[in-house]
């Protein structure tokens, strides 16, 4: 039978208004008025914030408790571009899961334990004063820095981390050639592991001061955590894990005297994972094993997602492998989301050391760009707007491609008002807010406006809006933000065309209100999508 015969046998209905045969295809023409009606019904009402989220597509997704571990900086090491990526990617995943109905636990798992604290403790004994640290920690750290030939150009919020870095770098250099310093570091860490009060007190001060300062950065990024945890919470449990591995026959002793788990398929020790040093102290992976087991018992998660750079892929492969070998079948529901490196992230003053510098630079550059605009003069909160738009630009540049790919940081391209940037997203949203505020369509004219939106650029914009649930579904499948970013950018380009071709001002009331309903829907979806990405929409810029 031919395509023409097939099409003749098919019947039209309220959805499909015409069926015809083409060259090797059958064409279905959808009733555009019905399509417009169904797409526009949610907008202008309270449920517009839920648009796309109640789709039947999501019925196949497993909902439950999702624990997301992200950011996770190491205390005494710099908060660098990798931590920025982990922070914003983890925040996106947590936002996405929460918007789709999951109970989300946001965890910051600090690198607050390990031999680097032996080095830091030994270094503080040489370069710092414990009494002054107790009395006035920030002021003392500032004094220590000023007395050590470093010219500090950073605010006090970053001085703590600078100081730790300075001490850590100095003592590392010292330890390379000084056996006494190496031994002092080992002794201090052993004191920590044995809970000796003086060492624990100094460690607690370092941790608390640093966490306070990190929270300042998170607040600027619009990121929050439900739980601040860390390796230190699981030091004793890590020893229990070692005992469990031993009792299960999984712990072996290497030629060097370290405790290892055999990961080789043949059981010939050709591939092992070290979980215990020869002196009996634990390692990062031992504490990660303890942390995972503890989290399952405490939070009863249905899935756990780790967001770290791709250099840790083997670490998480080993972690999940050992958990399964220990009999924890839930390890199959643990996932590592890896990401690539950022190249070329520099400020005007040179190489970037701290995330705070990047945020300051983004705000300063955005303020400069905004100062060239007439509308900026009408705003009361230019610095706050510049901060939000600058962070939007950072996030969109980071999210446009696959997370696993490395990318080169480009200030000029990132902050362009035109093109596929976070600035363009914010500009479009602000412009839509101005349009929507002019009038609000009433229900009495709703069906009269359908014919006004059934053709041209408006139907393309509406069809794009209608694919929002598919984009969220795709994002939920692979946890990649690129789908949502590219959808929102495409929507912005369509809306830019609609603004040119579908003016509100000067149009009849029915036409104007039809177009405003379209712009209202686009504004709502754009704002909701931006929030999932971790971007705060601005109403003016």
Q: Looking at the annotation, which residues are catalytic?
A: 77, 80, 83
- N-term to C-term CA, the chain: 60
Q: Kindly state the tokens that stand for 302.
A: 């249905």
Contact at 8 Å (CB) between 465 and 39? yes
Q: Kindly state the tokens that stand for 57.
A: 């597509």
| Residue among 121, 115, 112, 118 at smallest CA distance from 291 | 112
HSE of 90 in the Cβ direction (CA atoms, 13 Å)? 35
| Residue among 445, 425, 429 at smallest CA distance from 437 | 429
d(CA 514, CA 453): 7
> What residues contact 476, with CB distance under 8 A and at least 6 apart?
58, 61, 96, 97, 100
| Residue 136 CB-density burial (10 A; 0-12 exposed, 13-18 middle, 19+ buried) | exposed
Q: Tally Cβ neighbours within 10 Å of residue 14.
A: 7
Show the CA angle centred on residue 82, arms to residues 133 and 423, nearest 5°. Answer: 110
Show the CA angle centred on residue 280, arms to residues 274 and 286, nearest 5°. Answer: 45
CA of 126: how far to CAs of 61, 170, 190, 275, in Å?
A: 56, 10, 18, 31
CA of 221: how far to CAs of 88, 228, 263, 268, in Å?
A: 8, 17, 40, 48
Contact at 8 Å (CB) between 92 and 481? yes
HEC assignment per residue over 343-357: ECCEECCEECCCHHH
Q: Tally Cβ neighbours within 10 Å of residue 357.
A: 20
Q: Give the DSSP H or E segment for 208.
A: helix 197-221
| Residue among 356, 441, 421, 423 at smallest CA distance from 386 | 423
Which string of DSSP letters, residue by residue, matches 290-323? HHHHHHHHHH--SEEEEEEEGGGHHHHHHHHHHH
Length of the chain measured in residues: 541
Q: Give the DSSP H or E segment for 66.
A: strand 65-69
| Residue among 258, 314, 249, 262 at smallest CA distance from 281 | 258
| Residue 362 CB-density burial (10 A; 0-12 exposed, 13-18 middle, 19+ buried) | buried
């Amino acid at each position: 039978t031919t395509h023409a015969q097939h099409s003749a046998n098919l019947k039209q209905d309220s959805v499909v208004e015409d069926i015809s045969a083409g060259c090797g295809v059958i064409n279905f023409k959808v009733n555009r008025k019905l399509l417009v009606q169904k797409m526009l019904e949610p907008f202008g009402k309270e449920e517009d914030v839920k648009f796309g989220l109640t789709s039947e597509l999501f019925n196949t997704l497993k909902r439950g408790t999702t624990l997301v571990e992200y950011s996770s900086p190491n205390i005494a090491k710099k908060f660098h571009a990798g931590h920025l990526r982990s922070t914003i990617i983890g925040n996106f995943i947590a936002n996405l899961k929460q918007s789709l109905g999951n109970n989300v636990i946001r965890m910051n798992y600090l690198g607050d334990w390990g031999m680097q604290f032996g080095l830091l403790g030994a270094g503080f004994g040489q370069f710092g004063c414990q009494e002054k640290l107790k009395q006035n920690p920030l002021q003392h750290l500032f004094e220590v820095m000023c007395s050590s030939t470093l010219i500090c150009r950073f605010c006090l919020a970053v001085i703590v981390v600078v100081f730790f870095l300075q001490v850590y770098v100095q003592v590392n250099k010292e330890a390379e050639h000084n056996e006494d310093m190496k031994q002092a570091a080992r002794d201090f860490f052993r004191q920590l592991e044995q809970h000796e009060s003086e060492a624990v007190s100094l460690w607690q001060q370092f941790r608390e001061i640093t966490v306070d300062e990190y929270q300042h950065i998170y607040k600027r990024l619009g990121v929050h955590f439900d739980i601040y945890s860390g390796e230190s919470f699981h030091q004793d449990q890590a020893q229990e894990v070692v005992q469990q591995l031993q009792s299960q026959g999984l712990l072996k002793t290497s030629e060097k005297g370290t405790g290892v788990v055999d990961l080789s398929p043949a059981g010939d020790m050709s591939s092992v994972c070290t979980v215990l040093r020869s002196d009996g102290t634990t390692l990062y992976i031992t504490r990660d094993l303890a942390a995972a087991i503890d989290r399952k018992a405490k939070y009863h998660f249905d899935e756990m997602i780790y967001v770290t750079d791709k250099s840790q892929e083997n670490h998480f492969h080993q972690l999940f492998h050992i958990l399964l070998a220990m009999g924890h079948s839930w390890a199959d529901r643990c996932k590592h989301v890896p990401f690539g490196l950022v190249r070329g992230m520099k400020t005007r003053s040179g190489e970037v050391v701290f995330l705070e510098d990047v945020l300051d630079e983004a705000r300063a550059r955005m303020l400069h760009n905004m100062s060239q605009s007439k509308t900026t003069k009408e705003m009361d909160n230019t610095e706050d707007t510049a901060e939000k738009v600058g962070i939007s630009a950072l996030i969109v540049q980071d999210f446009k491609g696959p997370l696993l790919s490395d990318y080169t940081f480009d200030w000029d391209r990132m902050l362009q008002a035109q093109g596929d940037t976070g600035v363009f997203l914010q500009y479009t949203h602000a412009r839509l807010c101005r349009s929507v505020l002019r009038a609000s369509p009433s229900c009495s004219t709703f069906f009269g406006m359908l014919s006004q939106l059934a053709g041209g650029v408006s139907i393309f914009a509406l069809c794009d809006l209608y694919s929002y649930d598919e984009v969220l579904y795709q994002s939920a499948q692979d946890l990649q933000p690129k789908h949502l970013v590219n959808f929102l950018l495409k929507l912005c380009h369509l809306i830019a065309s609609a603004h040119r071709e579908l003016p509100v001002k000067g149009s009849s009331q029915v036409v104007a209100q039809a177009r405003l309903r379209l712009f209202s829907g686009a504004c709502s979806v754009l704002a909701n999508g931006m929030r999932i990405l971790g971007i705060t929409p601005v109403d003016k810029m």
